[in-house]
């Protein structure tokens, strides 16, 4: 009968104490990182918390020191004044219509252009793609005025179509989708579909788009918030009170000398609801799309 023996060397006392010291050091570092992240998170959330709290405060409590996080005498007077004296819901509806249409347009143009730039390798494609990327470094303010005259000639000022004219294409979106197409969709899969007789439109609709669902979700969130927070272009195109977007409407609460903090806080807290709902719904696609693109680059 044979037995297999394993040579086991007992660690010395110094090695055991060194291991304990390293584990304690690692736990201390992890604890310090957790504390740092918690403090940073609280500091980032504080403005949002005070914004919501101020919406329910009276003017006297809002100006008192030290500021209170939980209102002593909560009131909805600020919300009643905002909803009764301003067309806030109309501004929110304008912003939602503008943001949704801009998101659909940007997702559609980015998906088509990204797929073409990623999989159709003609000699001129790299030049065209470089030109698209070059537009990303040109500030929107540079061509905003010529775009305004174009909207005026088309007769679409003070309308959602006028707002949409400046937010139809996003160069970063094309870049994002192109990189996902290159790294996520193998050429063999497309060639197999072509050999089976599938047309290019069928391939794009039934193969490419489903595989780009994560990236398109991330792009949709970015495009929505880009239009939702737009200010300069809507301020130029929308000049009537009923055609304002929410960003332009919120600016009315601030005059040259005073700021109505109560109503501004109530309006801002109301505006947060659609954007938070959208992010909650699409947060998984947003994280997956951005993470996969960043890691592969």
Mean pLDDT of the chain: 82
C-alpha–C-alpha distance, residues 100 and 80, integer Å: 28
Binning pLDDT at 50, 70 and 90, where does residue 212 land?
A: confident
Q: pLDDT digits over 149-191, tens only?
A: 988 898 888 888 888 888 888 888 888 898 888 888 888 888 8
- Is-contact 115 210, C-beta < 8 A? no
Cis peptide before 187 (omega within 30 of 0): no
Residues 151, 165: contact at Cβ < 8 Å?
Answer: yes
Residue partners of 158: CB distance under 8 A and separation at least 6: 237, 238, 239, 240, 243
Q: How far apart are CA 274 and CA 283, in angstroms?
A: 14
Please name which of 276, 228, 271 lies closest in space to residue 250, comparing C-alpha atoms.
Answer: 271
The candidate with the shortest Cα–Cα distance to 227, out of 157, 148, 170, is: 170
Residues in a beta bridge with 259:
254
User: Could you tell me which residue, 254 or 133, shows the higher pLDDT?
Assistant: 133
Burial tier of 114 (Cβ tally within 10 Å: 0-12, 13-18, 19+): buried
Angle, CA 135 vertex, CA 129 and CA 141 arms, to 5°: 165
Band the pLDDT of 102: cuts 50, 70, 90: very high
Report pLDDT digits (tens) over 111-133: 999 898 888 877 787 788 888 77
């Amino acid at each position: 009968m044979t037995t297999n023996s394993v040579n086991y060397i007992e660690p010395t006392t110094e090695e055991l104490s060194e291991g304990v010291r390293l584990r304690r050091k690692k736990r201390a570092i992890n604890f310090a990182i957790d504390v740092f992240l918690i403090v940073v998170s609280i500091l980032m959330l504080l403005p949002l918390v005070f914004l919501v709290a101020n919406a329910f405060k009276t003017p006297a409590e809002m100006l008192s020191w030290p500021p209170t996080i939980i209102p002593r005498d909560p009131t909805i007077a600020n919300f009643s004044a905002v909803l009764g004296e301003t067309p806030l819901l109309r501004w929110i509806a304008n912003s939602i219509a503008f943001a949704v249409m801009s998101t659909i347009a940007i997702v559609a143009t980015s998906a088509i252009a990204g797929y073409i730039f990623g999989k159709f390798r003609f000699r001129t494609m790299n030049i065209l793609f470089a030109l698209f990327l070059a537009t990303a470094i040109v500030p929107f303010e540079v061509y905003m005025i010529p775009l305004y005259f174009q909207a005026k000639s088309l007769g679409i000022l003070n309308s959602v179509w006028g707002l949409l004219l400046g937010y139809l294409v996003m160069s970063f979106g094309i870049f994002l989708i192109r990189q996902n197409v290159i790294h996520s969709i193998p050429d063999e899969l497309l060639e197999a579909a072509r050999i089976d007789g599938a047309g290019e439109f069928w391939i794009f609709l039934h193969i490419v788009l489903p595989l780009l669902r994560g990236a398109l979700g991330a792009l949709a969130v970015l495009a929505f918030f880009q239009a939702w927070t737009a200010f300069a272009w809507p301020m130029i195109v929308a000049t009537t009170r009923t055609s304002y977007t929410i960003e332009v409407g919120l600016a009315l609460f601030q005059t040259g000398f005073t700021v109505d903090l109560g109503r501004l806080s109530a309006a801002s807290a109301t505006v947060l609801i659609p954007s938070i709902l959208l992010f909650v719904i699409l947060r998984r696609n947003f994280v997956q799309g951005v993470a996969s693109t960043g890691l592969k680059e």
